[in-house]
Structure 1
Amino acid sequence: MSRRKKKHDDSHIDEAWLLPYADILTLLLALFIVLFSISSVDAQKLQELSKVFNGIFASGNGVLNYTKPAPQDSTKTNEGMKDQVTAPDTKVNNEELKKLQDQDKEELKELQARVNAYIKEKKLEGKFATSLTDEGLLLTIRDNVLFGSGRADIRHKDVNTAKELSNLLVMDPPRNIMISGHTDNVPIHNANFQSNWELSVMRAMNFMKLILENKSLDPKFFSIKGYGEFKPIASNGTAEGRAKNRRVEVLIMPRVNLSKQ
């Protein structure tokens, strides 16, 4: 009797392994279906797939129990992006900026007219010149108006000219002003200067110091540069060209910086 019972127990096969096996097959089938559905690359499908798997791993639900997320309204999304691109504030700011730029140019033109009138009154044509550029109003002064050959100190007879010019630089509100020195390419080597670079810097410095004796000007708006022979405006192959290259430039800058727009 006991032997027969034992034989019956041995013949019984445990089928509990079929349950996890069925789950694995279900998951594989679901995976192949999903992969087939996204066989053509679609950004929206990829996003939805990502949400599906995130939901599965976060909630612990099976693939077949997961509910597909509601699709987003692409029309509303596009409209929102369009509103950001064409925001009213951006349009207003651009219009205001354009208005400020135009006003700034007109002010520089008026200042140029005053400087040109001064040049004509003092009969300085050929020695002073103005030009309106994107960088601002540029006043060019030939070196023989202010300096002796190879020297950086302003001649006594030209001090009044520089001081009168300083009155034209008084503006409300003030503008940034850059003063730069330039030379020709003839080497210089004397007791005061070892190079044209040094000479150009000191000429710009001395001219600025004289300009700033005008107490109506604020020094914090002034700066200098020395370019030496490296920014010629004419050929150094002739005496006339070298004379043009020896100069001091006064750049009166725009209040609205156009280069950053």
Structure 2
Amino acid sequence: MLLPRRSERDLERDHKASQMWLLTFTDLVSLMLTFFVMLFSMSNVKLDRWDNVIDSLSQSLAPEQVKTPISSTATHNIATVFRKRAINLDYLTSVLREKIDSDELLKQTQFMRLEDRLVLALPGDLLFEAGRAVMTDRARAALFRLGGALSTVANQLGVNGHSDPSPVAGGDYASNWELSTARAAAVANQLRAAGYAEPIVAFGYSDSRYDQLPPMPQAQRQLMGRRVDIVVFPTSGGLR
């Protein structure tokens, strides 16, 4: 059975009728909004409760702020950034050589410019009496002058004490290990007394590096074996 075809006017009338509920719903919402606005205008807002609500919302919606403590490593890194810059070793070599060559006691110092450091080899017999680690007054004065020159730079310093294979004869030390360490410490302390403010690490090697000396007459070899090395590094960052 075929239904009669509806006209366009009938379809338009039905469409308008189907949307009539929207007008009623809109009127209802408007009336409710007006009602609540009137209620709010006649009431007093309790500010303390309102503040509590705002604080609660702020804490729940705001991102969490994490406080990261500053570690000791970070503090050390900051201090390292502002540390005085080290002097170029080639320039420092020429300055120290001129000063040492003019000193009657230290002019026998051997300069060794290695790839990553400068070594000043001081003959131990000119600084200390046999079997002892107490410097003579003359040696103390000479090292004080040398330390004065080094006090103006920030290059890291190390002091290494050495000995020849001969056993310690008399004195206050039972072995060359103790003697070489004590002599290195004595030189380091004198450099500090002269004004060098950076850390100095002192080592005693006894005769463990005696065989590394280049060929030379035996007397000179033993003299160099009892040396004290002042090692100057190219940076102020630390020893290697």
Q: TM-score, normalised by structure 2?
A: 0.57
What secondary structure does 1:224 align onto? strand
Q: Identify which of 162, 165, 190 aligns with 2:143.
A: 162
**CA distance in 1 between partners of 2:182 and 2:159 (Å):** 11
Aligned to 1:217: 196
Partner of 1:114: 95
**Equivalence for 1:99:** none
User: In 2, are the aligned partners of 1:188 and 1:194 still within 8 Å (CA)?
Assistant: yes
Report the counterpart of residue 140 of structure 1 in structure 2: 121
1:200 to 173, 180, 194: 180
Q: How far 1:187 sits from its partner (Å)?
A: 0.8
The answer (yes or no) to whether the contact 1:147–1:155 under 8 Å persists in 2 is yes
Q: State the distance in 2 between where 1:156 and 1:124 align.
A: 11
Extract unaligned runs of 5+ from structure 1: 1-102
Which gives a bigger RCO, structure 1 or 2 (Cα 8 Å, sep 6+)? Answer: 2
Supply the distance in 2 between the matched residues of 1:236 and 1:184 (Cα, whole angstroms).
14
> Could you tell me how far apart the structure 1 residues matched to 2:166 and 2:127 are?
19
Deviation of 1:191 (Å): 4.8
Partner amino acid for 1:241? Answer: R
Q: 1:125 to 1:248 in 2, by over 3 A?
A: closer
Question: How far, CA to CA, are the matches of 1:133 and 1:109 in structure 2?
Answer: 10
CA–CA distance in structure 1, aligned partners of residues 92 and 105 of structure 2: 17
For the 8 Å contact 1:179–1:208, the answer to whether it is kept is yes
State the number of aligned residues: 153
Tell me whether 1:130 sits opposite 2:114 in the alignment: no
The alpha carbon displacement at 1:120 in A equals: 2.0
- Deviation of 1:131 (Å): 1.8
Report the CA distance between 1:167 and its aligned residue. Answer: 1.4
Q: 1:209 to 1:256 in 2, by over 3 A?
A: closer
Aligned partner (choices 233, 236, 240) of residue 253 of structure 1: 233
| Aligned-partner residue type, residue 202 of structure 2 | I
Cα contact 1:234–1:242 (8 A) shared by 2: no
How far the C-alpha of 1:255 sits from its partner, in A, is: 1.2
Within 5 Å, which residues of 2 pair with 1:9-158?
107-123=88-104, 127-158=108-139
1-structure distance, mates of 2:107, 2:143: 16
TM-score (norm 1): 0.53
